[in-house]
């Protein structure tokens, strides 16, 4: 089917908003965002002006209307363009994906992340990220992953993909409002499982480049790094690009400094793995990419040319996590049976999604009527996952 045919086959799916009181998206804006602001306020001894800016944001983002970024912000022109359709509207009436993105940009404004002065460049989510990495519970994950090297390449891949997928289960933003999320029993339920296609694309000796678009730091980035190691060590790929966020985002999203923290953590726990990753970074077989696009309020349909070229040149792009999935398929009320191939036909190159479900968006899953009949909770709590591939 041509790309145009794919597009024609798509149903009309309206964008997801947050305008239904009590709904999941409404609660993210109404409850989770102020909780995140409260956590950030307590994270560092910020001066009164930053505290006041955070308090103002808490009010604005819960009960106010969308206002422009200050005109002297370095990216004011970009945000003026992206905000134009929404200025003066309630945050609840604009697309949810856009509202969340703008919330995190406004949060960085409030803590003066981009402003000259002492607070410039300080990740406001550092304390949560560090606590997670220091958690002794991580040692058990690491010990389990360490045993992988002695197993056949295909088994290593299956285990590493599994760990990378379920590592996405409980990000820090979710845990703010759902502290039990990480303890909940892992369901083995995959609502879509294209792992056989994935294994074919990543067969030993096939070489090529894999782009891994990471999601969260800490407990998710560690298994992602194990996956990178499995790919390179077994020559399932010659090169890996690890795509990270250029700035703090959605609380726990991984940046370069989080990668470095993981490498430090591995220095004690898994020195051989740390050494291999370090060498790969050193010789260029592992390249870190941080593109501004990753923190823009856009979907992958609006990829900038340089990223599109990277994805086109790669034999496979793996996108991790819930938010990347929403950006990949479009944050819309898709019927679950809408084919994954059709909604991702536009993507430049083969693409795989590894995601645990933490929002309602879902395509390529025709058999979820029974789950849906019991309510929407299973789509939100990270107990279900998917592996979807479009070649």
Q: Which residues bind ligand F6P (CB under 6 A)?
A: 28, 100, 168, 171, 173-174, 215-216, 250, 321-323, 326, 358-359
Residue 177 CB, shortest distance to ligand F6P, in Å, is 8
Tell me the torsion sign for CA atoms 290, 291, 294, 300.
negative
Residue closer to ligand F6P by CB (options 97, 230) is 97
Residue 216 CB, shortest distance to ligand F6P, in Å, is 5
Instruction: Tally the C-alpha atoms within 13 A of residue 51's C-alpha that lie toward its C-beta.
Output: 8
143 with 266: CB under 8 angstroms? no
Residue 35 CB, shortest distance to ligand F6P, in Å, is 12
Residue 357 CB, shortest distance to ligand F6P, in Å, is 9
- The helix or strand, by DSSP H or E, that contains position 289, with its residue range, turns out to be strand 286-289
Residue closer to ligand F6P by CB (options 50, 380) is 380
Residue closer to ligand F6P by CB (options 32, 265) is 32
Residue closer to ligand F6P by CB (options 241, 253) is 253
**Spatial separation of the C-alpha atoms in residues 143 and 262, rounded to whole Å:** 15
Residue 181 CB, shortest distance to ligand F6P, in Å, is 10
Residue closer to ligand F6P by CB (options 132, 322) is 322
Residue closer to ligand F6P by CB (options 274, 355) is 355
Residue 11 CB, shortest distance to ligand F6P, in Å, is 22
Q: Which of 130, 131, 129, 109 is nearest to 120 (CA)?
A: 109
Which residues have C-beta within 8 Å of that of residue 67, sequence separation ≥ 6? 60, 87
- The helix or strand, by DSSP H or E, that contains position 50, with its residue range, turns out to be helix 48-63
381: alpha, beta or left, given left = phi > 0 and alpha = psi -120 to 50? alpha
């Amino acid at each position: 089917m041509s790309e145009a045919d794919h597009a024609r086959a798509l149903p009309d799916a309206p964008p997801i908003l947050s305008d239904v009181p009590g709904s999941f998206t409404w609660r993210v804006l109404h409850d989770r965002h102020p909780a995140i602001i409260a956590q950030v306020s307590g994270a560092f001894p910020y001066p009164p002006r930053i505290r006041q800016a955070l308090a103002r944001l808490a009010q604005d983002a819960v009960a106010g209307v969308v206002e422009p970024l200050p005109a002297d912000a370095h990216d004011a022109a970009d945000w003026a363009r992206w905000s134009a359709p929404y200025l003066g509207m309630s945050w609840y009436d604009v697309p949810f994906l856009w509202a969340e993105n703008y919330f995190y940009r406004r949060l960085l404004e409030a803590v003066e992340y981009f402003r000259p002065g002492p607070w410039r460049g300080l990740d406001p989510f550092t304390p949560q990220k560090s606590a997670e990495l220091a958690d002794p519970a991580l040692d058990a994950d690491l010990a389990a992953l360490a045993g992988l090297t002695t197993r056949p390449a295909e088994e290593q891949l299956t285990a590493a993909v599994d760990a990378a997928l379920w590592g996405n289960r409980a990000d820090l933003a979710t845990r703010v409002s759902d502290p039990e999320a990480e303890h909940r029993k892992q369901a083995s339920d995959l609502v879509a499982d294209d792992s056989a296609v994935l294994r074919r694309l990543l067969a030993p000796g096939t070489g090529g480049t894999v782009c891994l678009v990471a999601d969260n730091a800490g407990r998710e980035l560690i298994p992602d790094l194990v996956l990178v190691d499995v790919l390179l060590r077994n020559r399932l790929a010659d090169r890996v690009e690890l795509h990270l966020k250029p700035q703090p985002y959605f609380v726990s999203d991984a940046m370069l400094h989080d990668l470095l923290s993981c490498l430090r953590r591995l220095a004690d726990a898994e020195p051989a793995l740390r050494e291999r990753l370090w060498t790969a970074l050193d010789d260029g077989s592992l390249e870190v990419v941080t593109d501004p696009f990753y923190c823009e309020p856009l979907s992958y349909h609006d990829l900038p040319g340089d990223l599109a070229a990277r994805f086109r040149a790669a034999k496979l792009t793996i996108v991790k996590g819930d938010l990347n999935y929403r950006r990949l398929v479009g944050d819309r009320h898709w019927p679950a049976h809408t084919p994954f191939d059709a909604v991702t036909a536009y993507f430049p190159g083969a693409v795989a999604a590894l995601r645990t479900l933490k929002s309602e968006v879902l395509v390529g899953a025709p058999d979820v009527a029974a789950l849906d009949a019991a309510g929407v909770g299973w789509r939100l709590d990270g107990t279900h996952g998917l592996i979807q591939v479009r070649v």
